[in-house]
Amino acid sequence: MAAYASRATEAGPPPAGGTTGARQREAAAPDAQPPWRVLPIILTPVSMMTFDLFGVNVALPSIQSMFHTGPAAIELVISGFSLTVAAGLIAATRLGDLYDRRRILAIGLALFAAASAACGLAPNADVLVSARIAQGLGGALMLPQALAYLGLLFNGKNRAKAFGCYGLTIGLSVAISQPIGGALINADIAGSDWRPIFLLNVPIGLVALALLPRIAPMTRPKHAPRIDLIGTLLASGGLMAVVVVLVEGRQQHWPLWTLLCLAFALPLFLAFLGHQRMLRSQGIAPLVSLDIFRDQKSSVGLIITFIHYAVMTSFLLIFALYLQQGRHLDPLQSGLIFLPVGAGFFTAWITASAMIKRLRWQAVTVGALAVCVGYALLILGVYETGSNGSDAWIMPGLLVAGYGMGTMMSSIGPMVLKNTSTQEMTAASALLATVMQMGSAVGVPAAAIIFYGTLGSAQSAFRHAFVVSMLTLILFTLAVAFLAQFLSATISARAAAHEVDSGQVVWPGRLQGGPWMTSEVIDTMQAAWERGQQNSQATASEMRRSHARRRRRN
């Protein structure tokens, strides 16, 4: 444990005597045992955040009924949380660089637990949304520290296993949040209705706070750059402009201010990018390193991440609304229907490691196609079930979709962060988590626009709105499959080009990987490389025979 505690020491110059360098060499030794007992404490905040993000879906109809509010308020219950997390993640990462990560994690846990209590005691929708925003701030403080610990305490195969546990934690939390939330609502403890979904975080947070200083290692502050407040405000403003318009625009019939607000978002994002470039030109570390977008795998991987989380969050919201408002199931019945999704997640976690090792980015393609198949089966099951048919018709679709979502969640993170060094792991992980939350924040109101925009007054309209929404999600998931396959083909083409270069084959121009590198082109390049190798071997053999003849004559 001491060896890995020293790896968490990120400070600059070592103290007198050079003991820090010795301990760091010890931490990097291959026989050092990873501190697996730290993992449950690190993953507890991740589980709490995921449970609150997705478990609240099953409570939204109850919240809407209790507070007599419209769709916009319940969308903000989800999007307000995700937006705050996304806006604060990277800045919170800098806090972990400047101060002890364990301390920042503890502050985030305390704030999240307190905000959860405020959510559970909220007297109206406005207080609930405000408390959810405070929850998001606590989550923004927690998540980058947890991700940083995973990168700092684990290396190599152990890091892959640790991130696999991270993906499993998220997947299972997504799956069990619905049935647990439904059971708590149905139990109606002391007339509390949906409130225990939030209040449950309070005792869990207090236990985690008590165990954190005893198990998690401290990290010594290093000389990290200051927090870029201007960049944080620009990025947050752009995100807020988009989300507020998506939430309020449909309900208010798209007044002029929504269009102006949406148009203002683009200059804010451009100003953010310009500000980051200016900081870099001045020798100041930017809030987001733009170098990551120069790497095709990372930039396309982040786009895949954004779409996947937007689609997954949208599906969980739309399906919960369809079950409770369209089929009039109670929260417990609605939550239990999500159990096959959890079974699919768990199956994917078991098989994901071998699949990633063998297929790499194509594992994401397999997951995306499985999600599409699952959604298609779900649409067929919904038509077969009708308004009061057997739920057995929709179970296969949920199982297949859960397997696909679990495969994608287990694959995307390791592939995006595959070649990231330990020094860059914290910032890269925070950026990845930011994109995840941005997808959730934008996906929910965008999906609600489609769902409620299609919804009519007839009872069958819920089924129609659900099917139209699901078809839209299938299209976006197919886009993920295309992007992942594009990455896989590009990487394979570059590997083939490298083999050609290694065979000393001279080409008229420098080859670059791209979508034009089809299998026929790669086969031609491979054949040319093999011919070059054969010619080289024949030439060497002829030279050896000639040399032998000269020696015999002499």
Task: Write out pLDDT tens, residues 147-157.
Answer: 778 877 877 77
31 band by pLDDT with thresholds 50, 70 and 90: very low
The H-assigned helical ranges of 386-460 are 395-416, 422-454
| 326-335, 374-383, 390-399, range with greatest mean pLDDT | 374-383
Q: Tell me, what's the pLDDT at 523?
A: 56
Q: Which of 122-126, 177-181, 249-253 shows the lowest mean pLDDT across its residues?
A: 249-253
Q: Which residue has the higher pLDDT, 543 or 78?
A: 78
pLDDT at 106 over 50: yes
Mean pLDDT of the chain: 77
pLDDT at 398 over 80: yes
Q: Tell me, what's the pLDDT at 107?
A: 93
| Type of residue at 16 | A
Alpha carbon distance 153, 27 (integer Å)? 9
Task: For residue 34, report the phi and psi dihedrals to the nearest 5 degrees.
Answer: -65, 145
Q: Tell me, what's the pLDDT at 172?
A: 79
DSSP state of 326: I
Average pLDDT, stretch 85-107?
82
DSSP-assigned states of every residue in 86-140: HHHHHHHHHHHHHS-HHHHHHHHHHHHHHHHHHHHT-SSHHHHHHHHHHHHHHHH
Alpha carbon distance 243, 385 (integer Å)? 34
472 band by pLDDT with thresholds 50, 70 and 90: very high
411 band by pLDDT with thresholds 50, 70 and 90: confident
What is the b/e burial string over 141-167, where b = at least 16 CB atoms within 10 angstroms of the residue's CB?
bbbbbbbbbbbbbbbeebbbebbbbbb
206 band by pLDDT with thresholds 50, 70 and 90: very high
113 band by pLDDT with thresholds 50, 70 and 90: very high
> Cβ-count burial of 408 within 10 angstroms (0-12 exposed, 13-18 middle, 19+ buried)?
buried
Average pLDDT, stretch 227-248?
80
Q: Which residue has the higher pLDDT, 525 or 462?
A: 462
**2-12+26-227+287-496 topology per CATH:** Growth Hormone; Chain: A; (1.20.1250)
Give the pTM. Answer: 0.73
Alpha carbon distance 403, 371 (integer Å)? 7
Average pLDDT, stretch 242-265?
80
Alpha carbon distance 176, 171 (integer Å)? 9
pLDDT at 20 over 60: no
450 band by pLDDT with thresholds 50, 70 and 90: confident
- Give the relative orientation of helices 395-416 and 296-321 as an angle to the nearest 10 degrees: 150
Task: State what percent of residues in the chain have pLDDT above 90.
Answer: 15
